[in-house]
Amino acid sequence: MRLTLPIFSQENHARPEPVNHKGLNFTKEISSATSFVRQLAEQMTLAKAYVIIAKEHNNLHLAWELSNMIRSCQLLLSKSAMRGESITQEEAEPIISSLSYLIFKAQDARYDVATTIITMKSHIQALEERANAAIVQSTVFGQLAAEALPKNLHCLKVKLTTDWLEKLPLQDLAEEKRNSPRLVDNNLYHFCIFSDNVLATFVVVNSTISNADHPKQLVFHIVTNGISYGAMQAWFLSNDFKGATIKVQNVEEFSWLNASYAPVVKQLRDEESRYNQDVKGEPKLWNHKDLSLLNHLRFYIPEIYPLLEKIVFLDDDVAVQKDLTQLFSLDLHGNVNGAVETCLVAFHRYYKYLNFSNPIISSKFDPQACGWAFGMNVFDLVAWRKANVTAQYHYWQKQNGDGTLWKLGTLPPALLAFYGLTEPLDRRWHVLGLGYDANIDSRLIESAAVIHFNGNMKPWLKLAIGRYKPLWERYMNQTHPYYQDCATS
């Protein structure tokens, strides 16, 4: 390997022209015990340590002398690299001699090796602490940016909620559609989405319909919270969806979903209470989505839709690019969950998500078992009820009451509850990473049935990855007057 070093002069800081080096191999030079390059490099490293120590002991003159010789050393190394020739003895001896004298002078001032090591360790520790603090701060800011509702989306929700409250015909229409027989017709194709984001949910629904061969055969089951319920109803009742059936429900009406039945309800309340008392906790722990009951509804799908036999779950940060009705005819071979596996990336295996130092986990699960993706899943609800997956989910939630088996989130308990019950799907059904990875192969994205913007860089945010944002925006209804008003307000 040939190393290119730029030359820096104390008098002239102009950018050097690139030089083609042919004769000098710095890797070979630095590995040779007799080369002047290696001797100079080693002395320079030691001298840099003594500069820090001299400054700490207020010996500024020695620190200046050492720094001056370090610059001379760097200059000689740079000249050697630029001309492509080794450093000669005549060039090296004055600098080596001067550096040796200064290093001896530093040692004579009782800056011994032990002092050097202790001092450098303290500097390294301080740098690590600063780096860790910066990482935590960056994570917090990224999380806040990802969770904050942009002004235009907040504006849209306010306008739609006002419509819902003031326009009684909308409420009458919702009541009329509440008990449509299509909602329980197993000859149709059923999809469920759990979200409080009106625009994101619309993109999921609109993209699915836009790419379906027979939109009238699609049924969408949307569950949201009380705050977003009116806005969600107003939006989906006032837009055209090519004959598809859409029902919006309020999670707060699910009286059966309470702390006495679902362990996660109590756990979420406890975590939210701890969050309010200690905002300095680990950033990932306080992810708003992790603390949302909507995010955990996916474990109760058979109970929310007791008459359905098969359903496709879609996260609210996906966009659909192909007809998904073929998912309903896939053979899951008796399994409950059809999902795309993620262990093509080596660390997406069970040991990544679960605490295998705990015997409860290590005795029942293979740490090398392949993880899979939540966000586009086809569920056989008949098989789900037979295997009693929800009860398994409850069992593991109780086991994790102290939070030591896994951190907050829905994937770790799903890996446990659906263990041995997941059918791997062709990866083209579901491509992930558009919310954090800017380098996904374009051919993979084009071939994907569903693209998933998992990560903090959601497509409705300013921090979205520009390369992918148009793939999501093309399914937005940008002609809607409310959207236009909010976009320009």
Please check the confidence at residue 241 and state whether its pLDDT lies above 60.
Answer: yes
Terminal-residue alpha carbon distance, the chain: 58
**485: its two tokens:** 């008003």
In this structure, is the dihedral angle defined by the CA atoms of residues 332, 337, 338 and 341, taken in order, positive or negative? negative
Comparing 84 with 425, which gets the higher pLDDT? 425
The confidence score (pLDDT) of residue 195 equals 96
The 10s digit of each residue's pLDDT in 153-182 is: 888 899 999 999 998 899 999 999 899 999
User: Using 50, 70 and 90 to split pLDDT, how confident is the model at 86?
Assistant: confident
The confidence score (pLDDT) of residue 148 equals 55
Going from the C-alpha of 137 to that of each of 131, 134, 291, the distances in angstroms are 10, 5, 20
The confidence score (pLDDT) of residue 82 equals 77
Contact predicate 110/50, CB 8 Å: no
Please check the confidence at residue 334 and state whether its pLDDT lies above 50.
Answer: yes
The confidence score (pLDDT) of residue 9 equals 36
Top-tier CATH class for 151-486: alpha beta
Enumerate the domain spans of the chain. Answer: 26-147, 151-486
Axis crossing angle, helix 226-237 with helix 151-166, rounded to the nearest 10 = 80
The 10s digit of each residue's pLDDT in 53-64 is: 788 778 888 888
The 10s digit of each residue's pLDDT in 195-233 is: 999 999 999 999 999 999 999 999 999 999 999 999 999
User: Using 50, 70 and 90 to split pLDDT, how confident is the model at 277?
Assistant: low
Exposed e or buried b per residue across 416-443, where buried means at least 16 C-beta atoms within 10 angstroms of its C-beta: bbbbebbbebebebbbbbbbeeeebeee
- Please give the helix or strand (H or E) that residue 379 lies within, else none: strand 376-380
The 10s digit of each residue's pLDDT in 87-130 is: 888 888 888 888 888 888 877 765 555 666 666 666 667 667 77
The confidence score (pLDDT) of residue 87 equals 83
User: Using 50, 70 and 90 to split pLDDT, how confident is the model at 392?
Assistant: very high
Residue with tokens 């009116």: 230
The 10s digit of each residue's pLDDT in 350-368 is: 999 999 999 999 999 999 9
Residues 6+ apart with CB under 8 A from 362: 356
The confidence score (pLDDT) of residue 488 equals 67
Number of Cα atoms under 13 Å in the Cβ half of residue 137: 6
Please check the confidence at residue 465 and state whether its pLDDT lies above 90.
Answer: yes
Mean pLDDT of the chain: 84
